[in-house]
Structures are given as structure tokens and as C-alpha cells.
Amino acid sequence: MNLIILSKDDFIEDTSRVNIQDHRLEHIIKVNKPSVGDELRVGLINGDIGSGRIRSIEKNGIEMDVVLDRKPPAPLQLTLIFAMVRPRVFKRVLTQVTAMGIKKVIVINSYRVEKSFWKSPVLEEANLNKYLIRGLEQGQDTIVPEVLIRPLFKPFVEDELPDIIKGTLPFVAHPYTSEPCPYNIGRPVTLAVGPEGGFIQYEVDKLIECGFSTVHLGERTLHVESAISGLISRLM
Amino acid sequence: MNLIILSKDDFIEDTSRVNIQDHRLEHIIKVNKPSVGDELRVGLINGDIGSGRIRSIEKNGIEMDVVLDRKPPAPLQLTLIFAMVRPRVFKRVLTQVTAMGIKKVIVINSYRVEKSFWKSPVLEEANLNKYLIRGLEQGQDTIVPEVLIRPLFKPFVEDELPDIIKGTLPFVAHPYTSEPCPYNIGRPVTLAVGPEGGFIQYEVDKLIECGFSTVHLGERTLHVESAISGLISRLM
């Protein structure tokens, strides 16, 4: 936890003082091992970043005086669309792309996605929120990404995608294409990444029809996590 | 398993026929669900790549006629040095960088590495081999990377590192530096990545003294897995 994310509910009445409880309290005591007077990095959810000076440390709460004096880092101008993955991988992907600064994530279906994945509790709102907050804590950011879940490929691509890609360069990762992924685009991007094994040709064709260009990261087949962070870091 | 890795021991006497057993047999039956006559991608460890046509499928072995007629993909010209990480993350990192085509990996110590990590069985040779083979299966490659384990920072940097970086551009990932990581270097690279929280200043200074330049991937602190795959995909 490189940043402690605060919510309005943590503040004591109309003061700039907070009382931190729940998993954050545990983490701070175990990892930061702070003393009274120490300063920790804090940020208000969907708000500014700053520091909290510790007033007291008790088993049931840490009190801090908070100053929020900086904007969170600029968002990454990249909308990420990825095919639903194995639930334990999904958690890590969502947390990692949040840490990287992505603010719009769309989880879609693909022929090669196992149907059972869509029933996983990882897609429930409370869980999504947990993974997003973990990513913000990691990346020292406060702005919660928007996550859309779209379990039907065709209506999503036909009805919603044309608006989503407006004003962006849309790329789809496709290992069997001849164009290496470009570097340092300097413009907003929409990036679509398929499941292990890739999108099927029909799906790639639908994305191309919508305006996407196919790109690859070399002749090796990468795990979806490496592919996503690799493509993002190369494009942006 | 995008590629079935064969060893010399799989071959029946002096033929081009193999008998596949162990975890590969299980995986092929469960995931590929093949029929007699099907072709699967295979590669000889540290050798060529090709295909295997299935002759028979039994519970205790699959027999294939193998043709090895292609070279494995060209290695990535990047030596990766990273500080030892939590064992379950270590497995994933080693597998993923192998899948990306890295052929030399050096695991080093750093002030912020928990001492207990060095006692983990993940560093035992048999386990290292398992993670490397998994990476080769993922990335469709056959050349096993060299892995060096160096639990003493200073002697490694002073005595071994100068030779390792010869003929390469050496970079160290350091979030608190002003230079963004460059793109598409087009030359051999040595990349050093610290633990969660980064190298301490003394360590960064030692690396700079040795000839390294500090680079970052933006103002956010990334998880070591995202940082490694992001930096590699951007540099190469």
C-alpha cells in the first residue's frame, strides 16, 4: 500500500482529521510500523493526494491530521478492452492496469473464454471495487476506473464500440498479424486484448470492420498479463 | 502449453518417434483433446521446433512421429537482473520473462528484499527448471535461459556486473528519476529492476557507478511483474 485511500466517511465530523480502521489499519501497523508524528501518503478517493500526520495509534484505529494538496497523477489515455480471463488472473489484471493509470476497462466475451468465468464472484461490484482500490493503493492514484462488463461480443462491438473508440487509435493484439505494436503513440488509444489463444478470426474481423488495426508483440505467445502490461507500456 | 517440449529421452531408440508421458500427457489429453492423426506443435529442448503427428493415444503415453524443421524464435537481446521477490511472484516472473524470450536472468539481493525469500524452495534447481520449461511452453521457444542466483549485492556488482554489461546499454528502473524509459533501443540491453519499494539510494549509486542509467515508467509505482514486462516491451 503505497498510498492510503481515504473515503469521506473516514473524516471526523467537519475536521481534517481521519480515523483509519479496517484492512488499512492492519496494513499500516504491520508494514509501515509507524510512530506518532510520522507522515504517511494519503489520498481521498476520487480526490486529491497529500499526507497524514499520525496523532494516535490504537488497536481500533489510527488518527491522522490530513493535508490534501496535490492532484493525483494524470490518467493514462488508454481504454482497455480485454476478454474475460480465469478469475484469479482477472484480479491481478484489474489491479495492475489500475495501478498503471487506466481509467476505463471493458471486460468482454470471446469464443475462447470459458463460460464458467462469467459466473465468478470476482465480477461482483464489491469485489471489483476491492481490486480497483488495491490498484490505486499500488499506483498512488485516487481516481477509480470505470469498469464495464459486456458478456455479449457482437452487440457490444456493433452497438457500443464505435462510440468508445471515437477520438482514439484502436488496436487489437493479434499474434498472427505482421505489424509489430508501435511505440509511444502520443495519442489516446483503445487497446483490445483477447483471451489465451487469442480472438478467433471472426472476432478479429469484426474489430477490423469497426476500425481496429491488428498488432503483435513478437512471435512468442505471451500470457495475458505480460501482454497487457507490455502493450500498454509500449504504446504510451 | 502452446508448444510441447521434448527431451532426448522421449525418443524411442534411434527413431523420430516419441512417447510422451508425465504432466505433458495429462495436459495434451485434457486441453488439446487430440485424435490419432492430429498434429501438435513440438520442440526439442535447446533444439529445433516442428510438429508431431499422433500415432496412438493411451493412458500411459502418446506416441507421435516428429519432424523438427524450424529454428526457435530469435532470443531477446536483453539480460534481466531483478531483486528477489516473494516466492509466488518469483515463479510467475521467471515463467513470464522466459516466455518473452529472455535468455539470461540474474536474481540479486537488495536491502528491501525479505531475507526469508532466499530460503524458498522456488530457488532450487529442479523448481527453477520447471518454471523455465513452463515459460518455453508458453512462448513457443526451446532454448532454456541461464539463471544466476546472486544473494550478495556488493560483490556481484563490483566483481561480475562490469563483464555482464559489456556491449549492452545498462538501465536500472528507478521510480524517482527524471528520465522516462526509452523506446525501441535496437541494441542489446541489461535491465535491472529492484524490489517492491525500489533499490535504496546506495544500491542505485553503485549501479550508476558501474555504468547504469536510471529510467522510469511514469510517476506510478508498479508491481514488479508489470514493471518488468512493461520495461522489456518498451525497450525491445
CB contact under 8 A, B100 and A222: yes
pLDDT in 10s for each residue of chain B, 236 residues: 899 999 999 999 989 999 999 889 999 998 888 999 999 999 999 999 999 999 999 988 999 999 999 999 999 999 999 999 999 999 999 999 999 999 999 999 999 999 999 999 999 999 999 999 999 999 999 999 999 999 999 999 999 999 999 999 999 999 878 899 999 999 999 999 999 889 999 999 999 999 999 999 998 999 999 999 999 999 99
CB contact under 8 A, B96 and A138: no
Residue B20 has a pLDDT of: 95
Residues of B (19-38) whose Cβ lies below 8 Å from A: none
Report the candidate in A170, A172, A163 with the shortest Cα–Cα distance to residue A110: A172
CB contact under 8 A, B220 and A73: yes
Q: Give the sign of the dihedral formed by CA B209, CA B210, CA B213, CA B215.
A: negative
Per the CB < 8 A criterion, the answer to whether A49 and A72 are in contact is yes
Query: Which cell numbers in the block locate residue A65?
Result: 491530521
Neighbour tally for B219: CB within 10 Å: 14
pLDDT in 10s for each residue of chain A, 236 residues: 899 999 999 999 989 999 999 889 999 998 888 999 999 999 999 999 999 999 999 988 999 999 999 999 999 999 999 999 999 999 999 999 999 999 999 999 999 999 999 999 999 999 999 999 999 999 999 999 999 999 999 999 999 999 999 999 999 999 878 799 999 999 999 999 999 889 999 999 999 999 999 999 998 999 999 999 999 999 99
In total, chain B counts a number of residues equal to 236
Per the CB < 8 A criterion, the answer to whether A4 and A134 are in contact is no
Residues of B (215-234) whose Cβ lies below 8 Å from A: 217-223, 225-226, 229-234
Contacts of B99 in chain A (CB under 8 A): 220-223, 226
Which residue in chain A is spatially nearest to B95 when comparing CA positions? A223
- Domain B76-235: give its CATH code: 3.40.1280.10
CATH 3.40.1280.10 residue ranges for chain B: 76-235
Per the CB < 8 A criterion, the answer to whether A104 and A146 are in contact is yes
Question: Can you tell me the ipTM of this complex?
Answer: 0.94
CB contact under 8 A, B2 and A221: yes
CB contact under 8 A, A222 and B183: no
Q: Following DSSP, what letter does each residue of chain A receive, concatenated? A: --SEEE-GGGB-TTSSEEEE-HHHHHHIIIII---TT-EEEEEETTS-EEEEEEEEEETTEEEEEEEEEEPPPPPEEEEEEEE---HHHHHHHHHHHHHTTEEEEEEE--TTS-GGGGG-GGGSHHHHHHHHHHHHHHHT---PPEEEEE--HHHIIIIIHHHHTTTSEEEEE-TTSSPBPPS---S-EEEEE--TT---HHHHHHHHHHT-EEEBS-SSPPPHHHHHHHHHHHH-
CB contact under 8 A, A220 and B184: no
pTM for the model stands at: 0.95
- The Cα B231–Cα B217 span in angstroms is 7
Residue A178 has a pLDDT of: 79
pLDDT tens for each residue of B145-193: 999 999 999 999 999 999 999 999 999 999 878 899 999 999 999 999 9
Nearest to B223 among A138, A219, A222 (CB): A138
CB contact under 8 A, A99 and B223: yes
Residue A196 has a pLDDT of: 84
b/e map B31-53, b = 16+ CB within 10 Å: eeebeeeeebebbbeebebbbbe
Q: Give the sign of the dihedral formed by CA A195, CA A196, CA A201, CA A205.
A: positive
The strand pair at A61-70 and A17-20 is best described as antiparallel
Residue A176 has a pLDDT of: 78
Distance from CA of B230 to the nearest CA of A (A): 4
CATH 2.40.240.20 residue ranges for chain B: 4-70
Contacts of B216 in chain A (CB under 8 A): none
Residue A175 has a pLDDT of: 83
CB contact under 8 A, A234 and B183: yes
CB contact under 8 A, A221 and B138: yes
Q: Which of A138, A233, A235, A236 is the best residue to mutate to test the B interface, defined by the most B CB atoms within 10 Å of its own CB?
A: A233
Residue B32 has a pLDDT of: 86
Q: Note whether A99 contacts B: Cβ–Cβ < 8 A.
A: yes
**DSSP-derived secondary structure letter, B180:** B
CB contact under 8 A, A230 and B225: no
Contacts of A221 in chain B (CB under 8 A): 2, 99, 138-140
Contacts of B234 in chain A (CB under 8 A): 183, 230, 233-234
- The Cα A183–Cα A89 span in angstroms is 26
CB contact under 8 A, A234 and B229: no
Which residue in chain B is spatially nearest to A181 when comparing CA positions? B233
Please report, as a single letter, which amino acid is at residue B100: M
Q: Which of A220, A221, A235 is the best residue to mutate to test the B interface, defined by the most B CB atoms within 10 Å of its own CB?
A: A220
Which one of 2.40.240.20, 2.130.10.10, 3.40.50.620, 3.90.1150.10 gives the CATH number of domain A4-70? 2.40.240.20
- The Cα A85–Cα A196 span in angstroms is 8
Report the candidate in B103, B127, B113 with the shortest Cα–Cα distance to residue B199: B113
Q: Give the sign of the dihedral formed by CA A178, CA A189, CA A229, CA A94.
A: negative
CB contact under 8 A, A219 and B73: yes
Distance from CA of A146 to the nearest CA of B (A): 19
